[in-house]
Amino acid sequence: MKALQFSVSIPKFIALKALGALNRRLYYASPISTIKLKEIPEPGLPADDWVKIKTHMCGLCGSDVNLVFLRDSPSASPFTSFPCVLGHELCGEIIETGSAVKGIKVGDFVTVAPHLNCPTRGISPECRACQLGRPANCENFALGNLSPGMFTGICKDVNGGFAPYLVAHETQVFKLPEGLSPASGAMIEPLSVAVQAVIDNTPDDSDNVLVVGGGVIGNLIVQTIRALDIGSKITVVEPSRFHAEFARDMGADDIIVNEDVFAETERITGATSYTPMMGEKILIGGFTKIFDTVGNSRTVNTCLRILGFQGVLSIVGISDILKFDPTPLWLKLQIIRGVYGAGYNDFRGKREHAFETAISLVEKSRVRLDKMATHRFKLEEYKEMIEVNMDKSGNKAIKTMVSFLEA
C-alpha cells in the first residue's frame, strides 16, 4: 500500500536547515525532502488485543507540519522512531479484530486515541501516568514491544492515518456515533486535546480568558468553553482576519487581529500598563486564564506580561526551545501549565476519557466540526495540501484532510 512516510538523518537535517530557508519546497518536494509517498506492506495485527482499521479520513495536524519542516525541539527525538507514516487525526472502519478484543467489532466506525502507552506496549505494571489516567503522558514511550514513539504516526512499528490501513490497540479505539460524518470523526482527536486543555485549566464564569491563535485548536478551545456552558469572557488574538472572525462566530466575545495586544488587554480587562526602562510593557491585572496554542518565545513572553495575578497560562502549542523573562512569573505569582494529549478525567460527576467527552459534545451538537474541514485531498496530493497549510489565511483553510473515500 502507498503511505506518506517521514524520515530524517543528521546529514539531511543539516542540509535542509541550510537550504530550506531559501526554498521551503525542499522540505517536502525534493530528493532530500522529509516526507515521500512510499510503498509499504499492509499491516497485520501485532497481538490478539489489536484491531485493523480501513482509513476513511485523516487530518493534517500542526505538529505534522512542524515535523515536516523540522521545527520541533530535538528533546523529543528519543521518543520518535522512523521511517514512520504520519497521521494521528483519523477515523475509519474496523475490518479485523484480534481474538482477545472486547467491546468493538468488525464494521464499527471508530476513531483512535493515538498515544502508544503501557497497554499498547505490553508493559505491566503500568507507569504512574497511565495508572493516573493520563496515557498520553506515559513514562514508557521508548520501552516495551514497540519502537520509540509517543503516538501513532511517529513510531516506525505502527503506521499513522496517511495510509489506507493501520492497526490500533483496543484501548485506543473509540466508537463513533451512527451518522457522524467522516470529517467530524477525524476531528475528534484535536477536539479531545482542546477538551483536555479546558478541563485542566477550567475557567469560571467570572474569568477573562485569552486564546492565543485562532487555528484549529484555538477555535476548538473556544467552542469547548462554550459547549460546557462556561460564561467567561473569551478573547482570541489571531493575525488572520479570516480565522479571527471564524473564532468570533464560534463563540469568542472579542478578537484582536493586528491591534496592540497590550492596549487591547487594558481595554478588555481594565489592566494598568507600566513601561520599564528597557523592553516591553508589563501589565498589572490582565487576563486570568490564557491558552497559548502557538507556544513560541514571543507569544509566551507576551502572555506572561498580560496575564494577571495568580493567572494560569496553558501552553498548548508545541514549539522549539523557549526563552522568556520570568519577572512576571514571580511578580504576579503565575502558573505555567503544560498541555499534551488527552486522558481520563473526573469531570462533572463522572470519570471518562476526553475522547468520550468530545464525542458526546459533537453528538449533542454542542461543537461544530464539519464547518472546520475546509479542504480535502487525495493522498497523492499531499504536496498541494502542505502548500495550502503554508498560507492558511490566503487559502481560507482551517483543517485540511486526506480522504480515502470515493468522491
The pLDDT tens digits for 261-313 are 999 999 999 999 999 998 899 999 999 999 999 999 999 999 999 999 999 99
pLDDT of res. 92: 98
CB 105 within 8 A of CB 89: no
* C-alpha to C-alpha distance for 345 and 356, rounded to whole angstroms: 10
Task: Give the torsion sign (CA, 79, 83, 86, 91).
Answer: negative
Q: What is the pLDDT of residues 122-149, one digit of tens each?
A: 999 999 999 999 999 999 999 999 999 9
Task: Express each pLDDT in 88-108 by its tens digit.
Answer: 999 999 999 999 999 999 999
pLDDT of the residue at 77: 86
pLDDT of residue 209: 98
Percent of the chain surpassing pLDDT 70: 100
How far is 53 from 213, CA to CA, in rounded Å?
Answer: 33
**pLDDT in the model for residue 347:** 81
Residue pLDDT, tens place only, 6-35: 999 989 999 999 999 899 999 999 999 999
Domain 2-187+369-403: give its CATH code.
Answer: 3.90.180.10
| Cα angle value 292/293/296 (rounded, 5°) | 75
Would you place residue 407 in the very low, low, confident or very high pLDDT band (cuts 50, 70, 90)?
A: low
Residue 375 grid cell: 479542504
CA torsion 268-196-150-296 (nearest 10°) is 0
pLDDT score of 61: 95
Q: For the segment 37-78, what is each residue's pLDDT rounded down to a tens digit?
A: 999 999 999 999 999 999 999 999 999 999 999 988 778 889
Q: For the chain, what are the domain ranges?
A: 2-187+369-403, 194-338
Inform me whether the pLDDT recorded for 319 exceeds 90. Answer: no
User: For position 346, what pLDDT does the model report?
Assistant: 92
pLDDT given for residue 73 in this prediction: 77
Assess whether pLDDT exceeds 90 at residue 212: yes
Cβ atoms within 10 Å of 279's Cβ, excluding its own? 11
Q: Are 344 and 352 in contact (CB under 8 A)?
A: yes
Query: Average pLDDT of 241-269?
Result: 96
Q: Taking the model in full, what pTM does it have?
A: 0.95
Q: Which fold has domain 194-338?
A: Rossmann fold (3.40.50)
Return the pLDDT at 190.
Answer: 97
Which candidate, 169, 215, 201, places its Cα nearest to that of 334?
A: 201
The stretch 176-195 carries a mean pLDDT of 97
Q: How far is CA 343 from CA 129, 194, 197, 263, 351, in A?
A: 10, 12, 10, 37, 10
Tens digits of residue pLDDT in 350-397: 899 999 999 999 999 999 998 999 999 999 999 999 999 999 999 999
Calculate Rg over the CA atoms of the chain: 21
The pLDDT of residue 72:
81
What pLDDT shows up at residue 76?
82
More confident residue, 403 or 278: 403
Which of 196, 168, 182, 160 is CA-nearest to residue 61? 160
Grid-cell match 471564524, residue found = 246
Q: Which range (74-83, 135-144, 201-210) has the least confidence? A: 74-83
Upstream peptide bond of 328 is cis (omega within 30 degrees of 0):
no
Edge-first strand listing for the sheet containing 287-292: 254-256, 233-237, 208-212, 287-292, 307-315, 335-338
User: Which CA distances in Å does 267 have to 270, 272, 283, 286?
Assistant: 6, 10, 12, 10
